[in-house]
Structure formats: C-alpha cells, structure tokens
C-alpha cells in the first residue's frame, strides 16, 4: 500500500524558519511583536489595513495609534501600558499573545465587532487593572483565571453574548471596583459567600442576563457600593433580603422585571428607593409600590360546649387575656390597612395633580395636562441605561493619571487634551475654567480642581459619577473627567454665549447685548426647568447651593444652562485652592478679571447666612428669586438704590417688596430697556410676583422649584 506524505509539515517548517530569519533583522521591541498579533487577528476591511501605522519595521510601538507607553524602573526602553482601540469597527478575535504584555494596565477594545471567547492567556498580563470590552460579540464563559489579575479594578464586559455561571472565585478580585456584566447570557444562581470579601466594589451591574434563584443575603455587605445595584431583567425569585437595607444610603436599587415575591423591606436604604426600582415583579407588594400586602389574621374560636368556670380559675383568666390580645391585634391590623388605603388614595390624588417623576413623560412632549410638560423626570429612578464609562483609578506613580469618559458617545485621547490650546474663561474658588478646542474642532470647557485628594479617589469618583448621571436640556452636561495624584479635571460641554451675568451687566459694567423681554422670559423658564430637575429628579436630588447669574450659561439662542452644581463637595475632597496653582495646559491666556463681580451673599437666603446650617432646596429657590428680580430690574443685588439696615435681606429684595406693597409705578422698578415693550406689562408683573414668592423670608412659605417652573411656563400662554 503506497504511503502518502503530506507537504504541510515541510511548508510549516519553511514558513517558521523564514519568519524567524526575517524577524532576526527586525528592531521592533518584544511588546511591539505581541501587538502585531492583534493586527493579524483583525480582519482586513475593503479600505485596507485597519491599523495602517502599526509597522513591524518601527523600533517601538509607542507611536502607534491607540498605544501608550511609559518608563518602567529597571528597563531602558518604554513599555506598553495602554491599548485604546474603542469604536473603530474592528472585526476579528482577541489574541492570547496580548497576555505577554506584562506591564499592560489598560485594555480598551469596546464598541467593536470582536468575536470568539476571551482567551484565558490574556490574564497573564498581571499589571492589567482595566479591562473594558463592552459592545462586542464575545461569547463563551468568563474564564475563572480572570481573578489571577490581583490589580484588576474595572471590568466591563456588558453588551456581549457571554454565557455560563459566574466564577465562584470572584472574591479573589479584591481590588475590583466596577463589575459590569449587563446584557449577556450569564445563567445559574448569583453565587453567595463571595461579596463580603469584595470590599472595594463600588458598582455592580448584573442586569439583563438569565440569573435565577434568590438574591444572596451577603450582597448587603458591600459597604463600598456607591452606584446602582442593578439586578433587573433576570429570573431572580424569592424574597428581597432585608440585608440590602444595610447598603449605603446613596445606593439605588434596580430589581425590575424579576420574579421576586413578598413584602418590600422598609429598613435602611429601602426608604430611599422609588417605585421604579421594583416594577414588574407581580408577587411583590408594599411601599413604595401602590400594592398593599394582604395580611391574614388568625382567629381563634371559643369552644361552644365549654362550661362556665369561676373567675378565680387561672386558665379562664389566660383564655380571656389571649382573646383580648387577638382582638387588639385585629383592630391594629384593620387600622393599618385603613392607613395604607388612605395613603394610596392620597398618593394617587397627588400624582394626578403634579408632575410624575417616574420617567413616563419625556421632556418637550406637548401634553395638555398642567405642569408635566414644563420639565420631566426622564428615568429618574434608574430606568435609563447607565452611560457611565470606564471608572479608572489614577496611578500613584509619578505623573500618571486616567481620562475617563462618562458619555459613551464622547471620546478623545488624553494627549489630545493636553496638546490643545486653552483659553481662560473664569476663575473662582471652584477652580479655573478653560476653553479647550479638541483636534476634531469640538470645544469643551475644562475645570481644573487642583492637585490634592490623592488618597480620596473613591469619594472623588462617586461624586463625579453622580454629577455625570444628571442629563437635562437645561443643565450643562459633564462629558469626562481626569484624575491623577497631582491633577483633577472636569470636562463638560462648552456653552458658547457666556453667562447671564455678562449678558446683563457685561464685562465692564455695560451689557454687550440688549435682552428683550421674550429672551429674558426664555432664560428664566430654562433655568427654572433645569433647577427643578436637579431638585426633583436627579439621582441625589441635588441642592445647587450657589445659584447666581454667573452660574447660568447661555447658548447662541439664549437657552439657559445650569452649571457648577455639586462642585463644593469635589473641592473639599481635593482639599486645596485650585485657583492658586499654576496653569496646566499650554497656551492658556492670562486670567482677565471682570470689572464687576457678584457678591454671592446677596443671592443667599437669610437662613443660609447662619453658621452651621446645611444647604436646602429652599435656599436655591430664594437665590433663583433674586436672579428673577435682576432679570426684571437690570440691577444687581449689591447695586440697588437703597441701603439695607438689616443683614438678613439683600437690598434688591427689600426695595422691590416695598415698591410692590406701596404700589409704586412699574416704570420705577423695571429695567428701562423693557419699558418700550408695553405689551409685556402683565407678564412682567406676574414674574415679579413669582420672584417675591421665591424670596419669602420664611423658607416654609417659599414654593418648590417645580411649582416655580410651572408658574413661569403659564405666563403669557
């Protein structure tokens, strides 16, 4: 029988020796050779190579697109520490050779079309602390060796097709801060007994999978959790553990669309949850759902054939006491059910007459019902998908930090930010603000907070993420942040037309533009909508604490944007004065001090001046009322015609209140520019009354910002 010899081994050997002899002449570093495996694993597109500048004849890969390097002690050459290839429509698989990059810290391949499984060899890259692979087509199980990465802090594998159970050794990931596995096909029970050891976990999202069984009791021991605990859209069953009430009060729950049963616990953090967190669990009952639990009462019947006994018989007395106890319990149960019915009726009535904060009304819809179209609480209880990006821990090494995009649709490189020209927009105790134009021509505002707070990273991230969750058309949107031991930056949208202070008074005491009544009313309505959303619908029900014209930004259409909320806490975390530190971005112009500054005290409520008082939403209402008076009169609180003899009420407020009470002519109080708009007299007077209601000395008498917004929207309609 003839033997057939295959030429494949010979071809393979020839190819191997040819490859070896070729690479002996290549000067590319070992890290570069490992990276070429990724280029080989990516399928060629019709437009050519997807990584055209990744060339094997380069001495180093550090100039390649998406690659970052740094000096490592003991090595003469730069080593690869970051791979950022997100949103480039790359198709292929993740090669195991990336595990040879022993100093790799960040691997961002999200929002591409990678398929296949996650190679277990990848986790030989022992320095990896951020693995972000969401938005691909990855399949297969989560390798148990993932927790061989002792430094792993951020793991986001959401929006893939991964399956199988969670590894039982997740508790070995002791440094893990973010575990995001949403929208996959993971199944089985959520393992118990591992969560207490994950003492650094700040965010856990297991939503939209196929998990079943009970919620583990020890999830309540995640003391570092600071974001939403999201277990929604699974097949979880059983009762909600009361231990979840032990979680920090800032934690939100999302347990929707499961098969949970029984009464919702009323302890601890449960008191801060809205009804949306528990929807679509048919057998779940209790507050805050409008579905009272049906309590069954046991009744005992006395035996009809029992014979009367004397009053001094102890058994007789015991039986009577038991009957009385049962009667009292029955009465209490009936009373409780009655209170629940009254409460539910009151809630329904209240909801029918006010704007709902359940996310059922979107901003801008033209409903005919009063109030709900003025501002809306879109997904205010955690309905919307999380848009939080890669929460990174800045390295404690010299000069290294992390640029973290909060908005997934907004991305740029750190080098691009630091190379861009910057222009100083303003300077205050809340930091220096620069205008920076990125390489794609998009301008952003960059606030420099300072260099302190090196050891308070988690507090800083928790505050920034809370700010980043706030999304409303009349609130400045935070896009990204940068954290390093010696630098903290906030990157937000650049609003093109300055602020209300400059529009009213100008940089040199004279307004640069004439604001008609229609524009002023538009500004007032927009600012009220934004502030009302902060109060009623933002994740933390924010108190701004510093409402004044310079914190109300304007675009070219004079739409208003609330800015600078939540910054006081960040400044306290950084622990120093950022305005006293030198500039960080090349090309920044010297700071131009405005000719006229605001005296913040004259916008503050009377009770805000007392030491020790904590800010409240009614403080913001008062400050907004002063801003309304400034819009109406054109006068700043510290420039009013009279001098107050009281330190409790700013001059402008007293002057207007006195003029209204004494029925002074409107022309004596209103801005002279508006006197020509005779048709607006009734509207101007109506806004005066709204402003005076806001500036009532007694905070309990002041309206909520939601009502202020509704009243302003009705004026002129």
What residues pair up with 581 in beta bridges, in sequence order? none
Spatial separation of the C-alpha atoms in residues 211 and 190, rounded to whole Å: 7
Q: Looking at the predicted structure, is the pLDDT value of residue 160 above 50?
A: yes
Is position 147 within any domain?
Answer: no
What span, in angstroms and rounded, lies between the C-alpha atoms of 230 and 671?
A: 52
**How many Å apart are CA 127 and CA 395, to the nearest integer?**
12
Number of domains in the chain: 1
Lowest-pLDDT choice from 337-341, 465-469, 513-517, 554-558 = 337-341
Q: Which of 347-356, 441-450, 563-572, 686-695 has the highest mean pLDDT?
A: 686-695
pLDDT mean across residues, the chain: 74
Residue 506 lies in a domain: yes
Residue 393: name the closest of 152, 633, 659 by CA: 152
Question: 235 vs 86, which has greater pLDDT?
Answer: 235
pTM score of the predicted model: 0.46
pLDDT of 89 reads 86
Tell which wins on pLDDT, 576 or 339. 339
- Cβ contacts of residue 424 below 8 Å, gap of 6+? 432, 433, 434, 583, 588, 589, 590, 591, 592
* Higher-confidence position of 145 and 375: 145
Domain that holds residue 691: 493-576+602-639+648-714
Which of 264-273, 279-288, 314-323 comes out lowest in average pLDDT? 314-323
Nearest to 151 by CA among 171, 179, 175: 175
Percent of the chain with pLDDT over 90: 23
In this predicted structure, the answer to whether residue 141 has a pLDDT above a threshold of 90 is yes
Residue 618 falls inside a structural domain: yes
Instruction: Check if the beta carbon of residue 531 is closer than 8 Å to that of residue 552.
Output: no
In a domain, 672, yes or no: yes
Is residue 115 domain-resident?
A: no
d(CA 146, CA 12): 33
Q: Which helix (H) or strand (E) holds 138?
A: strand 137-140
Domain of 549: which CATH number? Answer: 1.10.510.10
Give the pLDDT score at 336: 57
Q: Which of 219-233, 407-421, 435-449, 636-650 shows the lowest per-residue confidence on average (mean pLDDT)? A: 636-650
The answer on pLDDT for 207 being more than 80 is yes
Each residue's pLDDT tens digit, 347-395: 444 433 333 333 333 323 333 322 333 233 333 223 333 333 333 333 3
Does residue 99 lie in a domain region?
no
- The whole-number pLDDT of residue 214 equals 95
DSSP of 81-104: EEEE-TTS--EEE--GGGGG-TT-
By C-alpha distance, which of 157, 186, 189 is closest to 173? Answer: 157
Quickly state the pLDDT bin for 459 (edges 50, 70, 90): confident
- DSSP secondary structure, 611-679, as one string: TTPPP-HHHHHHHHHHHHHHHHH---GGG-SS--S-SSS-HHHHHHHHHHHTT--GGGTS-GGGGG-GG
Long-range pairs, 307-311, Cβ under 8 A, ≥24: none
Q: Is residue 407 part of a domain?
A: no
Least confident of 50-59, 256-265, 577-586: 577-586
Report strand pairing: 91-93 vs 113-116: parallel
Q: Evaluate whether residue 681 is within a structural domain.
A: yes
């Amino acid at each position: 029988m003839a033997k057939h010899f295959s030429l494949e081994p010979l071809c393979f050997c020839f190819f191997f020796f040819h490859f070896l002899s070729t690479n002996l002449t290549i000067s590319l570093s070992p890290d570069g050779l490992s990276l070429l495996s990724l280029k080989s694993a990516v399928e060629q597109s019709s437009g050519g190579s997807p990584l055209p500048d990744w060339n094997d004849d380069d001495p180093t890969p550090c100039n390649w697109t998406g690659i970052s390097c740094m000096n490592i002690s003991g090595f003469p050459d730069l080593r690869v520490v970051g791979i950022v290839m997100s949103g480039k429509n790359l198709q292929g698989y993740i090669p195991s050779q990336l595990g040879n990059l022993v100093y790799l810290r960040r691997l961002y391949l999200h929002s591409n079309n990678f398929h296949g499984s996650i190679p277990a060899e990848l986790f030989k890259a022992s320095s990896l602390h951020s693995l972000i692979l969401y938005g691909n087509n990855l399949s297969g199980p989560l390798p148990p060796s993932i927790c061989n990465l002792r430094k792993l802090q951020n793991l986001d594998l959401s929006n893939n097709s991964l399956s199988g159970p969670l590894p039982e050794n997740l508790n070995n990931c002791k440094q893990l801060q973010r575990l995001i596995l949403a929208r996959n096909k993971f199944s089985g029970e959520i393992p118990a007994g591992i969560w207490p050891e994950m003492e650094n976990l700040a965010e856990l999202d297991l939503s939209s999978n196929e998990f079943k069984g009970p919620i583990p009791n020890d999830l309540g021991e995640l003391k570092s959790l600071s974001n939403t605990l999201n277990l929604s859209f699974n097949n979880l069953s059983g009762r909600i553990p009361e231990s979840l009430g032990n979680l920090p009060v800032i934690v939100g729950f999302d347990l929707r669309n499961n098969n949970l049963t029984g009464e919702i616990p009323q302890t601890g953090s449960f008191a801060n949850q809205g009804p949306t967190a528990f929807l679509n669990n048919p057998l779940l009952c209790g507050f805050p759902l409008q579905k009272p639990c049906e309590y069954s009462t046991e009744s005992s019947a006395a035996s009809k054939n029992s014979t009367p006994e004397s009053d001094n018989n102890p058994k007789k007395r015991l039986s009577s006491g038991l009957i009385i106890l049962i009667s009292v319990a029955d009465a209490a149960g009936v009373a409780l059910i009655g209170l629940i019915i009254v409460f539910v009726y009151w809630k329904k009535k209240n909801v029918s007459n006010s704007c709902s904060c359940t996310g059922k009304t979107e901003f801008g819809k033209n409903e005919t019902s009063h109030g709900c179209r003025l501002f809306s609480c879109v997904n205010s209880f955690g309905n919307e998908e999380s848009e939080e990006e890669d929460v990174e821990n800045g390295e404690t090494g010299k000069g290294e930090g992390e640029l973290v995009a909060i908005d997934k649709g907004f991305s740029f490189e750190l080098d691009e930010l630091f190379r861009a020209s910057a222009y100083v927009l303003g300077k205050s105790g809340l930091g220096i603000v620069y205008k920076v134009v990125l390489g794609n021509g998009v301008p952003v505002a960059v606030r420099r907070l300072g260099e302190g707070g090196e050891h308070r990273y988690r507090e800083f991230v928790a505050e920034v993420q809370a700010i980043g969750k706030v999304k409303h058309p009349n609130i400045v949107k935070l896009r990204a942040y940068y954290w390093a031991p010696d630098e903290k930056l906030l990157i937000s949208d650049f609003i093109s037309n300055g602020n209300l202070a400059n529009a009213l008074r100008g940089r040199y005491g004279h307004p640069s533009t004439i604001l008609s009544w229609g524009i002023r009313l538009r500004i007032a309505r927009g600012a009220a909508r934004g502030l009302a959303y902060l109060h009623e619908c933002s994740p933390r029900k924010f108190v701004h604490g510093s409402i004044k014209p310079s914190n109300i930004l304007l675009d070219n259409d004079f739409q208003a944007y609330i800015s600078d909320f939540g910054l006081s806490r960040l400044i306290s975390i950084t622990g120093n004065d950022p305005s006293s530190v030198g500039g960080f971005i090349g090309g920044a112009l010297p700071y131009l001090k405005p000719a006229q500054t605001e005296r913040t005290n004259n916008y503050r409520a009377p009770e805000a001046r007392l030491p020790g008082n904590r800010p409240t939403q009614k403080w913001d209402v008062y400050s907004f009322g002063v801003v309304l008076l400034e819009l109406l009169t054109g006068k700043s609180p510290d420039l009013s015609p009279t001098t107050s003899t009281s330190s409790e009420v700013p001059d402008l407020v007293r002057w207007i209140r006195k003029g209204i009470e004494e029925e002074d002519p409107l022309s004596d109080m209103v801005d002279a520019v508006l006197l020509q708009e005779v048709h607006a007299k009734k509207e101007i007077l109506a806004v005066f009354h709204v402003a005076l209601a806001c500036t009532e000395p007694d905070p309990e008498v002041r309206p909520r910002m939601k009502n202020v917004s509704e009243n302003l929207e009705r004026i002129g309609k």
